[in-house]
Amino acid sequence: MRTYGAAVGTRWDRWSLDVGTDPDPRFSYANERTFLAWCRTALALMTAGLAITQLLPEFDFPGGRRLIGIPLIAAGTVLAGGSLLQWYRAERAMRLGQPVPRSPLVPGAATVVAVTAAVALVLVVVDSL
pTM for this one? 0.82
**Domain of 41, in residue numbers:** 20-128
Asked if pLDDT for residue 5 goes beyond 60, the answer is no
12 falls within a domain = no
- The DSSP output letter for 13 is G
Asked if pLDDT for residue 9 goes beyond 70, the answer is no
For the chain, the average pLDDT equals 89
**Alpha helices, DSSP H, located in the chain:** 25-55, 64-96, 105-128
Residues 49 and 99: their CA atoms lie apart, in Å, by 35
pLDDT tens per residue, range 31-56: 999 999 999 999 999 999 999 999 98
34 falls within a domain = yes
Contact residues for 29 (Cβ-Cβ < 8 A; gap 6+): none
2 falls within a domain = no
118 falls within a domain = yes
Tell me, what's the pLDDT at 2? 56
94-103 residues labelled b (16+ CB within 10 A) or e (exposed): bbeeeeeeeb
